[in-house]
Structure 1
């Protein structure tokens, strides 16, 4: 990626990240702390923090740009009854709109000088929840992740 003139990394999160918490001391939610929703929301918040930390580590002059996105809920199948169809019609994106934020972050030249931000509906989200911009937690999470996978210093950013 470093040899590419313009590389982009897109991390898929969700707006649900605002309900997540990072448990650095118990990242795998062991000893009865695990819950499927709790783990899911932790990972979505972690992806936003990871994106910010990676952008910081790469630096503003890097050819590699990093984005976190909310792809939205896509209506990929019609509902089985009228209530499900109404729910889906009101709260989900049409199938052709599902990939738009991915494509925006992957291809739009307007983002050539942006990195480390969160995008929803093809727009950068300006006002992020304080948990999603907690750079100390992002740094601690990065360090923990590097330790867990035994990342050698020569590969670290």
Structure 2
């Protein structure tokens, strides 16, 4: 971690992305937001555009992306909002995106993701959530390393989740070939991977002036939950009960608006209050403390383990090779 004490900011769980970026001038900065055609990705892109950044919406559905870009341009008056195709589960698509990128990249928000999907494998045999949430973003970010280094102070932001508390990265069975498939444990593993990636990228790329952080956006009702019917939610609640302890009541869950959900992403992407901070995990616009038993907040020790972070990096390189 770059800081010895837990970092707080002037913002909190109620802050919106617009409030976090108010007064910040990102003119001349170039940003990429993956999954920017829906949910908190839209609000993240909108906030960065409002601050003057040139924003690329990296999306699978370019028709939806172009409609979103038009709405953002209209709302912000910033004409420098463009769309580029990106399918994180397709290594060729990731290569095409990175090959097409020219010049420096100041902000990369790895926002796209899926949650608790049915058992699905990519053509490479990778479990879909691990492939989408981690491997695709790993491939994208490492391919764009030169552009990030050229920016002199670039920021990489990875959207994780408190779901990471449910599982470390299980290196012996990443793709659920040996154990029964559990959509929530698969999701949890991929979200732990997001944090571990930030830890290792922060270590490896410090001399390049690149910071890397991960975050929990909060509970937000978006289409990320499209796979979560009654049975899946019952399974999720059972996992949470195991996490906090069978003899403890579950903490009350609160939900944020989409604008509030994007706030921590925007903080890490553009706020001067976190300048130079790297290798951290944030929630509610502040650096999270260690996870405490009986709670659903904080960061798990397994997500900050430097040995696991290095192992994940090497494992990801081997898979993508």
Q: What SS does structure 1 have at the residue aligned with 2:149? A: coil
Counterpart position of 1:46: 193
Measured after TM superposition, the shift of residue 57 of structure 1 is 0.9
Counterpart position of 2:311: 140
| 1:74 lines up with 2:245 in the alignment | no
List 4+ stretches of structure 1 deviating above 6 A.
Answer: none
User: Any idea what the Cα deviations from partners look like across 1:98-145, whole Å, max 9, x if unmatched?
Assistant: 211111001111222111100101001132322122111111111100
Q: CA RMSD in A?
A: 1.8
Counterpart position of 1:30: 177
Task: Please point out which of 248, 263, 268 is paired with 1:100.
Answer: 263
Is the 1:23–1:29 Cα contact (8 Å) retained in structure 2? no
Deviates most, 39-48 or 130-139: 130-139
Measured after TM superposition, the shift of residue 75 of structure 1 is 4.3
Counterpart position of 1:154: none
Is the 1:7–1:63 Cα contact (8 Å) retained in structure 2? yes
Counterpart position of 2:300: 129
Change (3 A) 1:38 1:69: same
Is the 1:20–1:41 Cα contact (8 Å) retained in structure 2? yes
Question: Where does structure 2 lack aligned partners over 5 or more consecutive residues?
Answer: 1-147, 224-252, 291-298
Question: Where does structure 1 lack aligned partners over 5 or more consecutive residues?
Answer: 78-89, 151-157
Q: Which has the higher contact order (CA 8 A, sep 6+)?
A: 1
